[in-house]
Amino acid sequence: MEIINNFGLDPLLLGAQIVNFLIIFYVLKRFLYKPVLGILKKREDTIKEGLRQAEDGKKLFEEAQNKEKEILTRAQNQAQTILEEAKIQTDELAKQIEQKAQKNASDIINSATEKINQEREIAEKKLSEYVSRLAVELLEKSASELFDAKDQKQLIKIATDKFKKLN
């Protein structure tokens, strides 16, 4: 008891200090630790979410880049194919046009040649008729002076027949 008195131990004071600490404990827990730990957790979550979003964004960006490359490669391949097809088609078309032109030219030449031949034949025939007629007329004029009427007729008849045979 003397020791207790020397140290000033008092049940009321002891109780008061216990109650005092318990109140302070409650105040600290309710108004300091809870909000501060809450805000720390919230910030941690925000940072984690931000990092996650950044990671997702990075993934999306990489995916977009890959997709872009894929699309470009596909487009290049398609363009190459189209070009090749176009070239083949152009070559074929050019060939067809050339063939057609050649055929047309050939037809035109043939047609012209035929026409020329026809014209020539007609001209030759007309010329022959004309020459024959001239010859007959010349013969008639020459024979009138050299032969009598009977011989003239016979001569002209022979000449006319020969011209007819020639024509």
Partner 1 sequence: MHSSFAAESVVQIGIFKVTNALINALFVDIIIIAICYLVAKNIKLIPGYLQNATELIIHSFYEMTESVAQEKAKIIFPFFMSFFIFILLSNWTALLPGVTSIGFFKDHELVPLMRGATSDLNTTLGLALVSIAATHIMSIRAVGVKDYLSRYISLNPINLFIGILEIISEITKVISLSFRLFGNIFAGEIVLFTVSGIFAFLFPIPFLTLEIIVGLVQALVFSMLTMAFMAILTTPHHQPDHA
Residues that bind partner 1 (CB under 8 A): 5-10, 12-18, 20-25, 27-29, 31-33, 35-37, 39-40, 42-43, 46
d(CA 82, CA 12): 100
**Residue 1 Cβ, how far from partner 1 at the closest point, in Å?**
14
Q: Smallest gap, in angstroms, from Cβ of residue 28 to partner 1?
A: 5
- Taking the least distance from each CB to partner 1, the nearer of 49 and 161 is 49
CA distance 32 to 143: 158
Residue with smaller CB distance to partner 1, 4 or 79: 4
DSSP string, 84-133: HHHHHHHHHHHHHHHHHHHHHHHHHHHHHHHHHHHHHHHHHHHHHHHHHH
- Choose between 3 and 149: whose C-beta lies nearer to partner 1: 3
Smallest gap, in angstroms, from Cβ of residue 54 to partner 1?
Answer: 18
- Nearer to partner 1 by Cβ, of 39 and 60: the residue is 39
Quote the least distance from Cβ 31 to partner 1, whole Å.
Answer: 4
- State how far the Cα of 58 lies from the Cα of 63, in Å rounded to an integer: 8
Widest distance between CA atoms in the chain: 204
Report the alpha-carbon distance of residue 122 to residue 129 in Å, rounded. 10
